[in-house]
Amino acid sequence: MNILILGGGGREHALAWKIAASPLVETLYCAPGNAGIAREATCVALDIADHAAIIAFCKEKNIGFVVVGPEAPLTAGIVDDLAKAGIKAFGPGKLAARLEGSKGFTKDICKANNIPTAAYERFTNAATAKAYIAKQGAPIVIKADGLAAGKGVVVAMTLAEANDAIDMMFGGGLGDAGAEVVVEEFLEGEEASFFVLSDGENALPLISAQDHKRVFDGDKGPNTGGMGAYSPVAIMTPAMEKRALDEIVLPTIRAMKAMGCPYKGVLFAGLMITKDGPKLIEYNARFGDPETQVLMLRMQSDIVPALIASCDAQLKSFDLRWFKDAALTVVMAAKGYPGNYERGTEIKNLDAAEKIDGVEIFHAGTRADGGRILANGGRVLNVSAQGSSVSEAQARAYAAIDKIAWPEGFCRRDIGWQAIKREKGA
């Protein structure tokens, strides 16, 4: 079968690497892809917001299956449009993708189904939001309702920060995404990313990973899309995963079905593991980035039948096998990210870095220029490694990073610190 992947980040490179290894694939395409994905797939310069162009390409190349990476095409209804054209695609339809596209929608589902999450209220004007904030006190969390490319959440430690966030969002700082705002309780605990495949009715849990959202070591600085990840996660014991499944994910899948918009695809629950158990921070309607990079390294089974089973409502008796080894990925970003950064700087010595045992480098914002690899985005590389422990995987990833010559890039040096502290028995 010919498969098309939509997207061009580290998540899509990891998916392409895993999908390309499936014996079910004849030709793998990726739009738009990047310099690393070009090793696994034929990259095509399609605008993934142009659904008609994607459908035309699928027909021309006899694409049997489309795997959608990022959230924007999902919330824009790409899966529905492909289905109408008779093309099978992995991911939720437009109505089901509201679990990511509207925070208020998700919070209301939680309330109606007793799903543990932070207490909240929804607001459409600044004055009532500020009155609520004044009553609740700080710390408190302010979230734009819509998609805001990772910039829509402000964890305010003071009332002044909270009120500034309200003014920024209602002042149009995030465009339409901030026209409605959710204000919610600050949750304390350790975060984990939990993934399940859903076919609308059944859920097949994948494994958990832990992301590192803040840009600097010690979890300091502004939030980013994610600066590194690892798996397995000690707090996500089988018992904790069962609670997350029974108390959070399955009630959501049942609610979506009852509302007439069954959720198919990967459901990514961002969890806070509090002293009372798992609470939902947010849902994403897609694989995590950079979590997918470690998920794919740990997945032993062929991924393609699982993705197809999610579309075909065949997950009920499905099983996936995983490697016991740990995996860890470190994001290398252009200096200045998540603010302004330069593009077009050259990255050298990737070949030497990839020769280190257990290392796999997934590209995010890169492009090839003849034989040179140039940075072409904020998050640029995911230097990833397997190891018998998180500590070993981390040592291998940083040994590879130390071989890469890219003066205009940077990375955190402490990815996996929570696991390594535990492994050392501290």
Please enumerate in sequence order all residues whose Cβ is within 8 A of that of 41, keeping only pairs 6 or more positions apart, or say none. Answer: 5, 16, 20, 28, 29, 30, 33
Residue in the block written with tokens 């230097």: 383
Task: Pick the closer one to ligand GLY by CB: 178 or 226.
Answer: 226
Task: Pick the closer one to ligand GLY by CB: 225 or 262.
Answer: 225
The answer to whether residue 155 forms part of the interface with ligand AMP (CB under 6 A) is yes
Query: Site residues for ligand GLY, window 70-99 (CB under 6 A)?
Result: none
The answer to whether residue 12 forms part of the interface with ligand GLY (CB under 6 A) is no
The answer to whether residue 116 forms part of the interface with ligand GLY (CB under 6 A) is no
List the structure tokens of 392: 């070993």
Q: Choose the contact partner of 71 out of ligand GLY, ligand AMP, none; CB within 5 to 8 A by kind.
A: none
DSSP string, 290-325: THHHHHHHHB-S-SHHHHHHHHTT--TT----B-SS
Q: How far is the CB of 186 from ligand AMP (least distance, A)?
A: 5
List the structure tokens of 44: 């095509």
Task: Pick the closer one to ligand GLY by CB: 12 or 289.
Answer: 289
List, in sequence order, the alpha helices (H) in 156-301: 159-170, 238-243, 250-258, 291-298
* Binder among 288, 358, 377, 387 for ligand GLY (CB under 6 A): 288
Q: Choose the contact partner of 288 out of ligand AMP, ligand GLY, none; CB within 5 to 8 A by kind.
A: ligand GLY
Q: Which stretch binds ligand AMP (CB under 6 A): 45-53, 70-78, 157-165, 182-190?
A: 182-190
Cα 365 from Cα 34, distance rounded (Å): 7
Q: Choose the contact partner of 293 out of ligand GLY, ligand AMP, none; CB within 5 to 8 A by kind.
A: none
The answer for 96, left when phi > 0, alpha when psi is -120 to 50, beta otherwise, is: alpha
The answer to whether residue 200 forms part of the interface with ligand GLY (CB under 6 A) is no
Q: How far is the CB of 112 from ligand GLY (least distance, A)?
A: 25
Cα 255 from Cα 270, distance rounded (Å): 18
Burial level of 275, CB count in 10 A (0-12/13-18/19+)? Answer: exposed
Q: Which stretch binds ligand GLY (CB under 6 A): 30-38, 285-293, 355-363, 384-392?
A: 285-293
CA distances from 314 to 81, 155, 175, 199, 421 (A): 22, 40, 40, 7, 40
Cα 417 from Cα 232, distance rounded (Å): 13
The answer to whether residue 284 forms part of the interface with ligand GLY (CB under 6 A) is yes
Which strand (E) or helix (H) includes residue 277?
A: strand 277-284
The answer to whether residue 184 forms part of the interface with ligand AMP (CB under 6 A) is yes
Cα 323 from Cα 299, distance rounded (Å): 6
Query: Site residues for ligand AMP, window 50-69 (CB under 6 A)?
Result: none
Binding mask 93-132 for ligand AMP (x = CB under 6 A): -------------------------x--------------
In the bound state, the residue with its beta carbon closest to ligand GLY is 226
The answer to whether residue 289 forms part of the interface with ligand GLY (CB under 6 A) is yes
Residues lying near ligand AMP in the complex (CB under 6 A): 118, 141, 153, 155, 184-187, 191, 213, 223, 270, 281-282
- The contact set with ligand GLY (CB under 6 A) reads 211, 225-226, 284, 288-289, 291
